[in-house]
A and B are shown apart, each in its own frame.
Chain A
Amino acid sequence: MADMSPCKVKMPEQDPLVRNKNFKEVSLGYTPEMAVAEANRCLNCKNKPCVSGCPVNVQIPEFISLVAKGDFKAAYEKISETSSLPAVCGRVCPQESQCEGKCIRGIKGESVAIGRLERFVADYYMENFEKQIPQIAANGKKVAVIGAGPAGLTCAGDLAKLGYKVTIFEAFHTAGGVLVYGIPEFRLPKKIVAKEIDGLKKLGVEIMTDMVIGKVLSVDEIIDMGYEAVFIGSGAGLPMFMGIEGEGSVGVYSANEFLTRINLMKAYLDEYDTPIKKVNSVAVVGGGNVAMDAARCAKRLGAEHVYIIYRRSEEEMPARKEEVHHAKEEEIEFKLLCNPKRIIADENGYVKGIECIKMKLGEPDASGRCRPIEIENSEFILDVDSVIMSLGTSPNPLIRTTTPGVEANKRGCLIVDENMKTTKDGVYAGGDAVTGAATVILAMGAGKSAAAAIDEYLKKQ
């Protein structure tokens, strides 16, 4: 009989006012006892609604019943059948709109804490077991993967398991994509990402860093090197700006720049060379996970006031609920239904304030969210010394402009068919490069589908 407690077993966390001064992980993870207790809340539904909410089809009730039995190793192996990055997904997936959103227990009370259990299982396995490297018979075929982010890593892992010789070409000096440059240490420790990537290398995946495809090599040249198929998982890396007055002022960053300095370049640690400015009062414009990450990083760098400026209400915020909750606990100040009009600089061109206007919600727009409308004469000024623009990102044009035959839509997203194949034979794509900025898990799902499609294609060659 399942434990009918209406609430999830609480996740131990660092105290908000302690953690907002360090970069250590916020959530500390379940103990084995907590995991078993939470697993006992699962009803083990026959029709598995949770699984239908998972882009990579993790066999959720099965792994949870193994957790309930205390067989954490078997639970890990169950997850691994379909997911290549469980320690990552357990931390960063928007569970509330995926698996947990479909959980029957969520109708009366809280859903089963699927994400926390996945994380526990992955962490427990990493700590206690050495990953078994399956014996794989090489099939002698080479596949190239462009981009070592969630889509590329997943695609590479799946293909390697099928016997392909996979090379990943990564533009940065470190593999991981958004997992290393975007998501902060306190939400996703980099040693976890490194461990997952090590696992791929053990499967025989080769990772070539410092390779900006479209510059150093074209997709056609990669094909000429003997790669029989190519997967493009180059993400959506180009930051957007508002185009308002003062955006060129000193102290205005894209969230990408701010986060890359901190996460990839480790500018918050003294022993690293990359500089980061001391910030005292920061406005972060946007309401997504990236905005929350930037705001919480700014707080950790010692900012006294960090504001989130978002033009709609909390209801419409695209960020994970947990991130919004954590941000509030950490004393991030939310200025909702506000939109920046201009950035004000001092006589030296340094940011000294941001003028915003109050908004109200109108009719729903094309996105289904209520359209924000300016309230006349409601302008006000926030005194800030830094502004971080977190308005979303779009795909990098480097590959589409250098690969004849690969077409993109007017937003710059690569066009693919239902098998993730681009308009060029042998070339597949997935993740943010196709969808525009989305989530880690959707990119992983796309990488997975593409790997299956590439396998089908190459079997016929």
Chain B
Amino acid sequence: MYKILEKRQLNSQVTWMTLDAPFIARKVQPGQFVIIRIDEKGERIPLTVADFNREKGTVTIIFQAAGFTTKKLAQMNVGDSILDCVGPLGMPTEIDNPKKAIVVGGGVGCAIAYPQAKALHNMGVETTVIAGFRNKDIVILEEEMRNVSDNYFITTDDGSYGQKGFVTEVLKALLEKDNYDLVIAIGPIPMMKFVAKTTEPFGVRTIVSLNPIMIDGTGMCGGCRVSVGGEIKFACVDGPDFDGHKVDFDELMRRNSFYREEEAHACRLEESING
């Protein structure tokens, strides 16, 4: 059993939660994820680890109440326990000494972008964060992101906060002005697709973090397979990070929508946000 130690609503839909998971907390690195199962009849869903505390033995997850299980999880409270939490799974994000990096977060994807920005910032990398949201009401982690970045830009689709428009517009302007050697993009699939399209002409290495349908998270089911540079890759063991210039986003989008009719049983954070 994994006890819920802290819980906060980041906005009406997004919950921040800290779990007691000492084994996972000892090992987890930015970019890795856990699979949780709430109870005996629950499904297994992947959630990227948003933060961790090795001393306290805790891991933080941030999720949007979008599907069946995330809605159920959002209703749980401090002191309650979930039955299973497996991890850390996937490969940590590979960051090889960039000098200047841009981290792009879309909606609740900011939850996953945050540990990346934090890691870069702590490595002494000049870190720019671009956070995009549909509107002002769903802005999350603004202060946290500001604390781990040298420059912070915020966009909203409707202009109710920050700059009106999409993250890609800010990104393009930055890339035209200056040289960057790394872009990390985490958010809805269309956002990641267009970030990758934006960076491609500039030849900037672009990492995206995928969160496809998954059951075991150890390479066993193959449900999470994605086409990357024409090869089949399993997001759970080969990823979840991939070269954004090589991912077949359209195929991923189709595969991720497979169970949507069964009710939003979806395991993904990102696809229901901004898109």
Contact = CB atoms under 8 A, between A and B. Distances in A.
Contacts of A199: none
Contacts of A265: 43-44, 215
A212 B215 contact: no
Given A212-B89, A250-B258, A275 B221 contact: no
Nearest to B38: A273
Contacts of A275: 43, 259, 262-263, 265
Interface string A206-244: 000111100111000000000000000000011101010
A238 to B, nearest CB: 5
A273 B41 contact: yes
B86 A254 contact: no
Nearest to A271: B41
A348 interface: yes
Contacts of B84: 173, 209-210
A257 B218 CA distance: 12
Interface residues of A, number: 42
B219 A349 contact: no
Interface string B222-264: 1101110000100001000000000010110011011100110
B221 A256 contact: yes
A277 B221 CA distance: 16
B87 interface: yes
A396 B220 contact: yes
A220 to B, nearest CB: 13
Interface string B199-220: 0000000000000000111111
A337 B42 CA distance: 41
A239 B41 contact: no
A260 B227 contact: no
Contacts of A277: 258-259, 262
Contacts of B248: 248
A349 B227 CA distance: 14
A38 B83 CA distance: 46
Interface string A400-437: 00000000000000000000000000000000000000
B259 to A, nearest CB: 5
A274 interface: yes
Given A256-B220, A273-B42, A396-B220, 13 more contacts: A173-B37, A173-B86, A210-B86, A217-B23, A237-B219, A238-B219, A238-B222, A241-B232, A249-B254, A257-B222, A266-B41, A274-B44, A349-B254
24 contacts: A171-B216, A209-B84, A210-B84, A211-B86, A212-B217, A215-B27, A215-B87, A215-B218, A237-B219, A237-B220, A238-B220, A238-B222, A241-B232, A247-B232, A250-B254, A250-B258, A256-B220, A257-B215, A260-B215, A273-B43, A273-B68, A275-B262, A349-B251, A350-B254
Kindly list the 4 A-B residue pairs having the minimum CB-CB distance in the complex, ordered from nearest: A254-B222, A257-B221, A349-B254, A275-B262
